[in-house]
Amino acid sequence: MILNRRHLLQTAAAALLMPRVASAGFAPLNARVTKHPIAPASYPETAVWTYGGSVPGVELRVRQGDRIQRTLMNQLPQATSVHWHGIRIENAMDGVPGLTQDAVETGASFDYSFVVPDAGTYWYHAHNQSMEQVARGLYGPLIVEETAAPDVDQDLVLMLDDWRLDPETAQITDDFDNGHDLSHAGRLGNIITVNGSLDPRVQARRNDRLRLRLINASNARIFDLNLDGLSGWIVALDGMPLETPIPLSGAFPIAPAQRIDLVVDVVAGGDTASLVSVERDGAFGIVRFDVDEPLAPAPRQGVSALPPNPLPVIEDVSSAPLHRMSLQGGAMRWLDSARIGDTELSGQELAQLGRFWALNGYAERPTDPFLDARTGGLHRIEFVNETVFPHAMHLHGHHFRLIQPDGSLGPWRDTVLVDRGQTRQIALVADNPGDWLLHCHMLGHAASGMMSWFRVT
Ligand code: C2O
Ligand code: CU
């Protein structure tokens, strides 16, 4: 148990307010080992770790403002926890061992209970030894429906993953501490699945309008996606509606942990359409849409924005304090030295500990927060990527607005891709009290140094 005064007060208050919210009433969320066919049928099934026995884990679908109550039952051979990625919830439910709760040991359970304030596309995943546990399959979609849902024929969740399987046994390789992966782009896989399937198919009719909820659950892969035979708009990023939907034209990136909601019309000339992953050696269909002739009328015209979520107002950020965070280390920019706690270690000593990256000179979550904010304060963070790799920087408990290079305010996100050598500013209202992580969502990078936190009181 991590005890501090705030925690004791919270626990005491919770006990007073909710005398008998016992675990018995919550639906179980079983984290357990199972088998799933990931590789082609000629291969054995793959042993995976799942929520509820499926890949992806059981889809949680609720309405905006609902309360989610789930008891995590840990039937895995490792301690675990659940993080509700992108959901702006109370700190005690955020699922971060060592910061907001203890890791849940094998055979033990934990009651998660929180209200979801925002509609949109979110996800949940393991947050203990995440680099290993997410790679083994511990993730699932969390969909919060708008009170007035957009007019579409199908609402499809498409959860992308990138698995590293042994080419003979089709089992997940357990080289999670591979120093080359950690110090380069992270753990890239050799099999891409959507919704746990190598060859997913969707039935659609010409002129159908589809909502595609794309979620990138992979450890490290940044996908460049494109559409073939489908045309439409980006309507939301990381769950949050765009004020003005962006018409799709050409490929668009989705970094680990990011979500993109599309509204597309089936315009295929032939009998298939596809979602395509653009890679160095070609473009590969990762979802196939089998298109029937229309029973349906002509395509709809235009699209309207999704209803806004109750986000704080951010307008003028020019006088907000600016906090600089340098992203450091990795191959070809090896750390000379960095700190773990109060100890300054050489790059060589750090490498022996499997630490290759640092945030502002720390190769592990520091004792003091990167930012100590008063509730309601407006802040800017500037990510300065001094490395030669891209990083997907994620803040817990908050969404933020991107500040565009010309100073104007961009879309809301919870994870921002900072390219090699790039500097990106974000603005956030620190309106959610608690201790929150801030880390790279390339999970190997987080495990090997890119981990920080901020405090809101
Ligand atoms: Cu997807 Cu620390 O989170
Ligand atoms: Cu990174």
Tell me, what's the pLDDT at 21?
42
**Angstrom distance (rounded) from CA 432 to CA 311:** 11
Tell me, what's the pLDDT at 14?
42
In a shared domain, residues 184 and 287: yes
H/E segment holding residue 447 = helix 443-447
Among 117, 146, 175, which residue terminates a domain?
146
The answer to whether the CB of 173 falls within 8 A of the CB of 164 is yes
Ligand nearest 220 Cα, by number? 2
The predicted model scores a pTM of 0.94
450 alpha carbon to ligand 2 midpoint, in Å?
7
Ligand 1 neighbours, Cβ below 6 Å, are 83, 85, 125, 127, 257, 394, 396, 437, 439, 441
**Angstrom distance (rounded) from CA 127 to CA 354:** 19
In a domain, 313, yes or no: no
In a domain, 302, yes or no: no
In a shared domain, residues 356 and 251: no
387 alpha carbon to ligand 2 midpoint, in Å?
9
- Alpha carbon nearest to ligand 1 atom 1, residue: 85
In a shared domain, residues 166 and 288: yes
In a shared domain, residues 132 and 28: yes
Amino acid letter for position 316? D
Pick the atom of ligand 1 nearest to 125's CA.
1
In a domain, 153, yes or no: no
In a domain, 303, yes or no: no
Tell me, what's the pLDDT at 25?
66
Tell me, what's the pLDDT at 30?
98
**In sequence order, what are the residues at sequence separation of 6 or more whose Cβ sits closer than 8 angstroms to the Cβ of residue 212?**
156, 158, 261, 262, 263, 264, 275
* CATH number assigned to the domain comprising residue 134: 2.60.40.420
In a shared domain, residues 201 and 261: yes
In a shared domain, residues 12 and 127: yes
Please give the structure tokens belonging to residue 71: 């008891």
360 alpha carbon to ligand 1 midpoint, in Å?
20
Among 121, 146, 171, which residue terminates a domain?
146
Query: Could you tell me if residue 91 is left (phi over 0), alpha (psi between -120 and 50 degrees) or otherwise beta?
Result: alpha
Kindly provide the residue ranges of all beta strands, DSSP E only, lying in 52-200, ordered along the sequence.
Answer: 60-63, 67-74, 82-85, 109-115, 120-126, 139-145, 154-163, 191-194
In a shared domain, residues 128 and 180: no
Ligand nearest 257 Cα, by number? 1
Who surrounds ion ligand 2 at CB < 5 A? 391, 440, 442, 445
User: Residue 234 carries which DSSP code?
Assistant: E
Ligand nearest 82 Cα, by number? 1
In a shared domain, residues 210 and 270: yes
In a shared domain, residues 72 and 169: no
In a domain, 224, yes or no: yes
In a shared domain, residues 249 and 164: yes
Among 146, 173, 196, which residue terminates a domain?
146
In order of 6, 78, 191, 214, 398, the CA distances from 198 in angstroms are 47, 28, 8, 16, 34
The answer to whether the CB of 58 falls within 8 A of the CB of 52 is yes
Amino acid letter for position 449? G
In a domain, 39, yes or no: yes
391 alpha carbon to ligand 2 midpoint, in Å?
4
Pick the atom of ligand 1 nearest to 439's CA.
2
The answer to whether the CB of 89 falls within 8 A of the CB of 118 is no
Print the domain residue range for 350: 322-456
In a domain, 315, yes or no: no
Tell me, what's the pLDDT at 193?
98
Pick the atom of ligand 1 nearest to 85's CA.
1
In a domain, 337, yes or no: yes
Tell me, what's the pLDDT at 295?
64
Query: How many domains does the chain contain in total?
Result: 3
In a shared domain, residues 282 and 164: yes
Task: Going residue by residue through the chain, which has 457 residues, state the pLDDT in tens, using 9 for 90 and above.
Answer: 343 434 433 444 444 444 444 445 699 999 999 999 999 999 999 999 999 999 999 999 999 999 999 999 999 999 999 999 999 999 999 999 999 999 999 999 999 999 999 999 999 999 999 999 999 999 999 999 999 989 999 999 999 999 999 999 999 999 999 999 999 999 999 999 999 999 999 999 999 999 999 999 999 999 999 999 999 999 999 999 999 999 999 999 999 999 999 999 999 988 999 999 999 889 999 999 999 877 667 778 899 999 999 999 999 999 999 999 999 999 999 999 999 999 999 999 999 999 999 999 999 999 999 999 999 999 999 999 999 999 999 999 999 999 999 999 999 999 999 999 999 999 999 999 999 999 999 999 999 999 999 999 9
In a shared domain, residues 260 and 190: yes
